[in-house]
Structure 1
Amino acid sequence: MTTTTAAAVVESAGAGFSLTEVELADPRPDEVLVRMVAAGVCHTDLGVAAGGLPFPLPGVLGHEGAGVVEAVGSAVSRVKPGDHVLLSFTSCGRCANCRDGHPAYCEAWLPLNLLGGARADGSATVTRGGEAIGGHFFGQSSFARHALVDERSLVKVPADVPLELMAPLGCGVQTGAGAVWNVLKPRPGATLVVTGAGAVGLSAVMAARLTPATRIIAVDRVPARLELARELGATHTIDTTSDDLAETVAEITSGHGADGVVETTGNIQMASAAIGSLAARGTAVLVGAPAFGSTVPVDVNFMLPGRQVVGLTLGDSETEALIPVLVELVASGRMPVDRLVKHYKFEEIQRAVGDVVAGEAIKPVLKF
């Protein structure tokens, strides 16, 4: 028996989000029906809604869900009805990268999460009036009052943690923290640069504060966000409306440069400048996603002293290992994610989107 629920549907590229009734398929053996309590709004959702990626529309997006399990498939072992869960990306669980603890680089990641709009076998998880529409976004499509979720997309959390605060951990916070902890792994005394003081960048700043890095340099064009970055752990800030990134980093580090960079803006010029700020043997982690086909020129001679440029998806995280740690850090106040979050009613999703675009909200979270 299908489940009828209200969802925020994107009818066509650029059309925005409109609430309408949809039907969810019954859970298959490895699927879970979740009643949504909250869902974060991410720039990836906005990019897909604008037509920046070939996800099938009409469709239901949303990939930072948090909720309560209502029903489970016959083979599900991670959770049971009544459990509280956070939702993240899905993966096949069988390929070499999944088996090696790197499910964010699953061989089937793109069709399973971002482009397919359906299960791996092509069957629909979401229909409307008997017609299939795009669903299975990151294995969840959580911009709805209920979501049909892959078991591999969810992580059980304690029942006493506030789901409306924890929702962003499934993507934005995990990505920023993972860039620092899983890739850069700063040594004592390291200098880290974080370009872009949005949700991912500020998550990277908070994660860096929990490492032995001694200089954490936040870069942005909005003074209020730079001030927030200082409050969250940045030791220095650079406003690129007036200051040159590489020159200022050189001044701060007495010419040494940055040991690690987390680039979150997706701006090609910013990425180039961030890479140019690296010290010998430094690593730049590119998190922000410019349009497909974009190129960032890098001088080969600049790379010779051991400098590295690494692309990153979702923090290169194993969700069942990292998300519970993030939950504990947020709940204890050591990662004050609440400073990033602004809450909206589910029905206000279009206002939340407008506030993100206008820079008036860092991390909108919808409450159901």
Structure 2
Amino acid sequence: MRMTAAVMYEQGLPTPFSTSQPFRIEEVELDPPGPGEVLAEVRAAGLCHSDLSVLEGLRKRPLPIVGGHEGAGIVREVGAGVTGLKPGDHVALAGVAGCGSCRACLAGRPGLCQAVSQSRAEGLLATGSRRLHLTGGGRLNHYSGISVFAQYAVVAPRSLVKIDPTVPFDVAALFGCAVVTGAGAVFNSAKVKPGATVAVIGLGGVGLTTVMAAAEAGASRIIGLDVLPGKFDLARAVGATDCFDPREPDAVQHILDLTDGGVDHAFEVSGNLAALDLAQAITARGGEVVGVGVGRTAATFTVAHLPWVAEERVLRGSFMGGGVPQQDIPRYVDLYLRGRLPVDKLRSEHIGFNRLNEGFDLLQSGAIVRQILLPHGG
């Protein structure tokens, strides 16, 4: 079929993106689903900082590529051998899909699946197939195995999670990345316990979800940090007890005083190396720094060796929530429906394809939290 999609031909173009146009909106070809694949109509897709880092060229992707890794839609067709999904099902589309049989997948960590990671790096679906093509017949790559900046997507079933149809698509899209990543970092990776103290560095969509999840986990103090104080009201509304601009000269000492020597868990969500240093500075003896945000591919950071050992500090990575989306997302949806995970507050506005590049300018400026692309209009 022919459909409208956002195609990136070049990374690292200059800002403003509304001028350099890293995404070109055009018609592309999408093959029908093959065996073990599903065709979904994309009804909503979120604009994420991970997408922004790809636009900026911080993380390389095979080009040209159709963008987008967080969405929601409706199953329209299933390929041979697909079970558990049928046409008409409402689904969240997530960028995590394991092979189901390797060591990582059998351990309940599909985000670490080497086979699928290699397919994603090559611009293929988790099945190893390519279903996207330029209209002239040229090769077109899949982003994170789903490519939801498009009207339709062919994906592997493990990229789809069936959800309650009462959840609006513009909310359901958030569960594919922002929610599964932020909430999973709290519940799966850090396993935050009631009474624990938490800091969240970076109050975008993922960071604010981390705040919500920490509140649901029963954290006694939740400290939000961001260089844009305009985000603090929303952070407090979803569970933060205190907020600081980390550029304030006494911010670290204030946090140490508030928490009797530092927090139990510091979540670094921005992917910024200076923020990782900050996270280490405000973590208590025996506490842990949880790295959630992704930055430049070759970036490195340092750890003071003696305190790491003598103070029993923990450095932990958390990729896409460190869990199994098919198990976690229904749980998070249930918390949302019961008013305990108010992820609908993350929505900033709806946009069409005509404003997609401009949307990334707004995201980069910090003026918004989560814009939702409506590929079919709205």
Classify the secondary structure of the residue corresponding to 2:232.
helix
Aligned pair partner of 1:359 in 358, 366, 378: 366
Is the 1:91–1:112 contact (alpha carbons within 8 Å) kept by the matching residues of 2? no
Once the two structures are TM-superposed, the CA of residue 357 in structure 1 deviates from its matched residue by: 1.4
Q: Report what 2:5 is aligned to.
A: 7
1:152 alignment partner in structure 2: 158
Report the 3-state secondary structure (helix = DSSP H, G, I; strand = E; otherwise coil) of the residue aligned with 2:141: coil
TM-score scaled by structure 1? 0.94
- Which segment is superposed worse, 330-339 or 185-194? 330-339
Instruction: Check conservation: 1:182, 1:315, Cα contact below 8 A.
Output: yes
Structure 2 distance, partners of 1:34, 1:335, is: 26
- Give, in angstroms, the shift of residue 246 of structure 1: 3.1
> Equivalents in 2 of 1:52, 1:314: separation in Å?
18
2:327 to 321, 327, 330: 321
Task: Check the 8 A contact 2:6/2:66 in 1, yes or no.
Answer: yes
Sequence identity percentage: 39
Alpha carbons of structure 1 residues 103 and 120: separation in structure 2 relative to 1, 3 Å: closer
TM-score normalised per structure 2: 0.92
Aligned length, in residue pairs: 364
Contact 1:266–1:290 under 8 Å retained in 2: yes
CA contact (8 A) 2:99 2:126 kept: no
Measured in 2, the distance between the counterparts of 1:352 and 1:336 equals: 23
User: What corresponds to 1:72 in structure 2?
Assistant: 78
Q: Shift in Å at residue 149 of structure 1?
A: 1.0
Q: Which residue of 1 aligns with 2:97?
A: 90
Q: Residue deviations 1:73-100, cap 9 Å, x none?
A: 0111121011111100222112111011
Q: Indicate whether 1:33 and 2:35 are aligned.
A: no
DSSP 3-state at the match of 1:108: helix
Residues in 2 aligned to 1:110 and 1:249: alpha-carbon distance in whole angstroms: 38
2:340 to 305, 323, 334: 334
Tell me whether 173-182 or 242-251 shows the greater mean CA deviation: 242-251
Are the aligned partners of 1:61 and 1:135 in contact in 2 as well (CA < 8 Å)?
no
Aligned equivalent of 1:240: 246
Look up the match of 1:306: 312
Deviation per residue, 1:257-289 (Å, 9 max, x gap): 110111011111110121122112211101112
1:271-325: CA deviation from partner (whole Å, max 9, x where unpaired): 0121122112211101112212222211111112221001121010200111011
1:207 alignment partner in structure 2:
213
Structure 1 unaligned blocks of 5 or more: none
Residue in structure 1 matching 2:273, options 244, 268, 271: 268
Picking from 294, 297, 301, the partner of 1:292 is 297
Which string of whole-angstrom CA distances, capped at 9 and with x for unpartnered residues, describes residues 308-349 of structure 1? 001121010200111011112223322222221122123321
**2:214, 2:127 → 1: CA distance?**
41
Whether the 8 Å contact between 1:59 and 1:135 is mirrored in structure 2 is: yes
Q: How many angstroms does 1:6 deviate by? A: 0.8
Task: Tell me how large the CA RMSD over aligned residues is.
Answer: 1.6
Asked if 1:279 is matched to 2:287, the reply is no
Picking from 48, 53, 64, the partner of 2:54 is: 48
Unaligned runs of 5+ in 2: 14-20
Alpha-carbon separation, structure 2, partners of 1:302 and 1:51 = 35
In structure 1, what is the equivalent of residue 17 of structure 2?
Answer: none
Deviates more, 1:50-59 or 1:320-329: 50-59
Alpha-carbon distance in structure 2 between the residues aligned to 1:32 and 1:123: 12
1:186 corresponds to which residue? 192
Q: What is the DSSP-based 3-state SS (H/G/I as helix, E as strand, rest coil) of the residue aligned with 2:25? A: strand
AA aligned to 2:267 is V
Distance 2:103 2:177 in 1: 23
- What code does the residue aligned with 2:111 have? A
Amino acid at match of 1:185: K
